[in-house]
Chains A and B, each alone.
Chain A
Amino acid sequence: MPVQKFTVRFDRQDPRSASYLKEARALGFRALRGITVQDLYFLEGQLSQEICKQLALELLADPVAQSAAWTELPASPAPPRTDTVTVEVALRPGVTDPVAEQIVRAAHELGFDQVRRAATGLRFLLEGADQAEAEKLARRLLVNDVIQHWAIGAIEPSFPQESESSGKVESVPIRELADDELLAISSTRRAALDQAEMHAIQTYFRAEGRDPSDVEFETIAQTWSEHCVHKTFKALVTVADAVNGQPPALSGGEGSTVNSIIKTYLKSATEQIDAPWMLSAFVDNAGIIAFDDEYEVSFKVETHNHPSAIEPFGGANTGVGGVIRDVLGVSAKPIANTDVLCFGPQDLDPESLPDGVLHPRRIQSGVVSGVQDYGNKIGIPTVNGAILYDEGYTANPLVFCGCVGLAPRGKHVHTPHEGDRMIVLGGRTGRDGLRGATFSSMTMDAQTGEVAGASVQIGDPITEKGLIDVITRARDHGLYHAITDCGAGGLSSAAGEMASALGADIELACVRLKYPGLAPWEIWLSEAQERMVLAVPPDNVSALQELCNTFDTELTDIGVFSASGRLLVRHHGELVLDLDNEFLHEGLPQRKLNAIIEHSILDTSKSEYRLSNIDANEVLLQLLSHPNIASKAAVIRIYDHEVQGGTVVKPLTGVGGDAPSDAAVIKPVGTNGARGIVLSNGINPQYGKRDAYRMALAVVDEAVRNAVAVGADPQRIALLDNFCWGDPLRAETMGSLIEAARGCRDAALLNSAPFISGKDSLNNEYLGTDGRRHAIPPTLLISAIGLIDDVRQAITMDLKEAGDDVYLVGNFEPVFGGSHFSLVTARSSNESVPAVHGDSPKVYAALHRAMLDGLVRSAHDLSEGGLAVAAAEMCIGGRLGIKIESEAWDDHIRALFAETTGTLLVEVRPQDRDGFLARFDGLPALRIGTITREPFLSVLVHGVKVIHLALSDLIAAWEKPA
């Protein structure tokens, strides 16, 4: 069948060219003069010249801005152009190509039934590059070998391959194997199971009198994977002190063993707090709290680190899609997304990268595009987040994706009944994402990108939008008994979990495939995106089908829920999996791990700095330009944060719409009254490197404080934890994990803020070809969700009016340990990281009272960079100045730049002074300055001007990251 190759180019400059060129230059390709991008479309079919012409104009090109040309393959090679090298790129077969699918569909809609298949590609014309440079640039910037193939010159199209149909089921003989052979099987199948786990499987099948099929083995590996079952967080851990080897004195009297981190630290705090407004914690796909009498709000945050490391766009894209399905899995409508991202330094020397590692710039631009693509297209506002940089994230970036949902109270059901049909909704199943669950449970190495290529996919947000439309309506009509999402582990995980209380009988031949040729275990384990599994009473299937027809969503009936207590899976009738639920879900032996608690840097004596010679002006500008602190507007603005019309406090705020909000406030459309949802986060790997326990306390405090700063009621804040750590088999790593979890519990209790959901991502390490391990800093993300009774009373951080007073509230005990001052001045500190003061909840309660009484005009938390950075940001927000005067600060560098917890700057009208202070009776609230019309931030200590900076200089520094 002939193939026509269409090339579409912009008549004016391609808007993509400039950004490619900028990225290329940043990666060191300075000789390059230009990059021109053109789109390639390969259409297979008997297409006349006239049809090609019409396809070009009607479908493939924008006739006003673009031109199209086409040629039948094989084409005669284009005459070589001096000084320009052509690179052509296309997706590998099997990688989802939604545009190609749309070309065929739309061509048929236009009446061009002759179009049989389509594929897409890109052509880059590199001006000023020789072939060697071009190849290097292709690898570094233009192409990702994991999902694409490429050529210098013309590329062959890659249509989805129709491989041989395969119903093949292999037996995995394990009954007779010795220990080392069992481990070898685990390793070759990339199952990530240890010896005790392999033994348990062996014992089960010895009793069954047979060996497992590959479907069974893969199902067990998936069900027992770290990703799905969190065996580290449920392990029995023996804890010892690093110095004397004795059991350490843990604050909760746990003694020398911790039996399950989740139970001991996270669930126990939630149970103890026992908040009446908490509706569901740790059981569903997402945590749920009450919004009002009518609605409930759900929140989930997931990580998608390993996939984002090897294919940043697809990894982040499907990370967002995955967490949205978590919220759909509690029958809620997704109403807001959050994204917290950690990358290596953007200016890293490309030559210094370990093998197989993408440059942090590429990772960032890919991840950000992936987040943007999914969130914007599905129509969920991205309202809160953070971006942090540290060398520790170079090979192992972190991508935290959060989603908030809204649902009528009591409508979420989760109990399948015997006889219910097992229904799959959404996308088709392909070979995508195989073994993702086990892949994410391993340390990556230089080959990971290659081997795990199949673990990465590209999302399809519009298909998932259809799922939202169908499921929210099906919920309102009561059409299903239970629902869950297809995430890691695919049908195996979703169907297996749903059937765990009853049993099920499933026919894999019913599953709709993207292309034929999948082995039964591949169908069962595929992590193809945009699928949900529902338990639907047989009488309701036709009503559900009708909804699906309306919203272009596919419905597939794959089996029935039974009361057998067994999971049965067939392929064309032949039984390929027959497992006892009890074994599958309870048969995993508890892991036994060791932890060593290392002594944190807890030197409480203040450093003897010679700080008097430091130019505070210069330090402040450096801090404002530090990538962790500087404006993230370039990223925030490419996310749609307005869709759904409920974003009351936006990520950027103030007079110029360019200052950083402490938290987001959302007023969900459709809810009555003025109540809103507050979203914030806390994260601090610099503290994590030094003291995991205090870091946990500090980041919980930061999340709570950020929420309170915009007006959240401190008595109704719930928390989510996301732990990203290294290899837990290393006792020191396990020790810091326990310390962080302990900090989470103590912080939750202190703030009466329960944990409602959490997730851990371990093994965030990278084994380089240099043989060294590259581990990430211990990173704990705390996401907070709170309520504000009247969104019209929300507070933003921008200064409002000259003449107002500025107060410093909270216990102000600044220290340099883990501070950004240490980073920008390269002065390492022996000090501890900031402790959390027991009074901080009282401070937040007082501040909230003052806000409700209308006494607060702006508020901003002190975080990275300390008081001076917070004050500068408030000036930027209000386009006003602040004059700070202090007679109390003997060490002004410490006061201005060292870091604290529990403190905020608050703007109050002079006439409200007494009322404001009355609410802080007995709590620290100190007037430190006045807001000025003169656009300067100035600080006078003992009458000496230590900072005097023009607003324009503050803005310039903040908006141009170093």
Chain B
Amino acid sequence: MGRFIARRLGLGLLTIFVTTIAVTLLIHIVPGDPVRIMYAQSQGTTDADIAAIRHRLGLDRGVFVQYGLFVGRLAQGDLGRTVRGDQPVLPLILDRLPNTLLLAAAAMVIALVLGIGAGFVSAWREGSLVDTGLMTTAIGGVAIPQFWLGLMLMLVFGVRLAWLPVGGTGLPNLVLPALTLGLGNAAIVARMCRAAMLDTMRQEFARAARARGLPKFLVMTRHVLRPGLVPVATMMGMQFAYMMGGAIVVENIFSWNGIGRLAISAIFERDYPLIQGFILVFATSVVVVSLLIDLLQLALDPRLRRQ
């Protein structure tokens, strides 16, 4: 158990470390002069201004010094100031982070509940019409682009039926974006859960459970679903990371006030300090949440708990 946690923790820390390096190097890979590109849109920026900004960002010094400066400031919770509006980056992002996490978590719940439910029913009735129907839906669900699904949901439930708000940030506003993000992933979970359960059903212990005379429901839940959930849990951490990635797109469709919207506008405006901050916070949240989800695996799979 200690080894399992230590390995996950180690990978997480390594990820954050690599992120800090990548983020420092980011500006240097930009073709041309990043400062001039950043301020290309604002008129009346003098050469003196640019030199000052360059100095403030530490771009006039060596890469190692820059990295040192970046990490030093990071340790004090300072990620610099935005190019547009000259605001501190970190509070700006942290202010919106809960919205993104809420959206991803809600979508995750939808994906798991619908996905595991559909996968279970499908595996139980393998080869039946229900199975075929559910799995056909799932194959379609995987293929539908999230942003298109979002637009269609918006059109039907927001515009035509006007049941739900199409934009903004709040609890009723959460429904459509969470569905958009959750449905496609539910299809992935359903396919995976069904495949894992069918694999488990062919294991000898499932047959042994039937040979003991257990009713089918007990066999399917205790001896098929539970072991079948182990591979599902293994990929849940990754699944959440993809939810966060998907949230960036969905937030922009539904004007959900999370870090994804912030990031896209930052990329448009070439606001590199904000982009840097976004990447760092995004990676860190993914690492932390994945780690928490990995702990769930310990509950599901006693083999990981061995010393």
> Do A and B interact with each other, yes or no?
no
